[in-house]
Amino acid sequence: MRVHTKETQSHLTPRMALDILQEGNGRFIKNLKAQRDLLGQVNATREGQWPFATILSCMDSRTSAELIFDQGLGDIFSLRIAGNIVNTDILGSMEFACKVAGSKLIVILGHTKCGAVKGACDHVEMGNLTELLSKLQPAVYQERETVNQEMRNSKNPVFVENVSSINVRRTVKSIIERSYIIEQMVETGAIGVVGAMYNIDTGRVEFYDDVQYIKDEMNPEFSVADLRH
């Protein structure tokens, strides 16, 4: 499989980029791989890179986006941090990826059984990790399904997964609200932003239909203003 060029990247739409990732995950869960000459891709990308998507995922060793979506060298920008949280540095990286390097899609990828989410659920405090986990606390407090206070901790897998899902949805909206560059590119349809969850038991990625912010022929009425309500 050939690497993306400036021309092939420019011809992609956000929806097409999403389709490529979904197809790649389909191969992954079937234990299939696209045929690639990795050394050839090294040579092909030495003068430049044209990744079609940017993926923010957790640092968990089981959640490599390149493997999960069966992508090669130069295909995606991969941003990784515990709990797939967003901060100013990550926002700046996303802005570069889309505005400068031409990526068509931003994916916020959470995963099941996330250790960072479990830590936030248990209100863990430990060195610099304390500040990182504090960014997950809003998702913990927003979880309303678990009423019994004794069940609102990492020992309750349902609570943990609910918090993980909420965190993905909050992060998707947050990056659009906090970045004028990303907001405008989503508004014009130049890029899309979506949320997804990786299941570490099955290898399958579930893309959330309710947080797919792509303005195209399938969703022509979408406006960033909709996120304000």
Q: Which residue has the tokens 């992609």?
A: 12
CB 183 within 8 A of CB 176: yes
Residue 168: per-residue pLDDT: 98
Position 206 in a domain: yes
Checking if the pLDDT of 3 tops 90, the result is no
Number of independent structural domains in the chain = 1
The C-alpha angle with vertex 203 and arms to 199 and 207, in degrees rounded to 5, equals 60
Position 159 in a domain: no
The side-by-side arrangement of strands in the sheet containing 76-80 is 76-80, 53-57, 105-111, 192-198, 205-213
DSSP per residue, 35-68 = ---HHHHHHHTTT----SEEEEE---TT--HHHH
Residue 97: per-residue pLDDT: 98
CA dihedral defined by 158, 160, 165, 168, rounded to 10 degrees? 180
Give CA 196 to chain center in angstroms. 6
pLDDT in tens, 135-183: 999 999 999 999 999 999 999 999 999 999 999 999 999 999 999 999 9
The answer to which of 37-51, 77-91, 93-107 has the lowest mean pLDDT is: 37-51
Binning pLDDT at 50, 70 and 90, where does residue 130 land?
Answer: very high
pLDDT in tens, 47-94: 778 899 999 999 999 999 999 999 988 899 999 999 999 999 999 999
- Cα within 13 Å of Cα(122), Cβ side: 12
Binning pLDDT at 50, 70 and 90, where does residue 46 land?
Answer: confident
- Secondary element (H or E) of residue 157: helix 157-178
pLDDT in tens, 184-222: 999 999 999 999 999 999 999 999 999 999 998 888 878
Give CA 76 to chain center in angstroms. 11
Position 1 in a domain: no
As a whole number, mean pLDDT of residues 9-17 equals 94
> Beta strands 192-198 and 105-111: pairing type?
parallel
Please tell me the distance from the alpha carbon of residue 171 to that of residue 161, in angstroms, as a whole number: 15
As a whole number, mean pLDDT of residues 91-108 equals 98
Residue 223: per-residue pLDDT: 84
Residue 228: per-residue pLDDT: 64
Position 160 in a domain: no
Q: 91 lies in which domain range?
A: 6-111+168-228
Residue 26: per-residue pLDDT: 97
Residue 229: per-residue pLDDT: 57
Position 144 in a domain: no
CATH number of the domain that residue 222 is part of: 3.40.1050.10
Residue 9: per-residue pLDDT: 87
Position 208 in a domain: yes
Position 81 in a domain: yes
Please tell me the distance from the alpha carbon of residue 137 to that of residue 142, in angstroms, as a whole number: 9
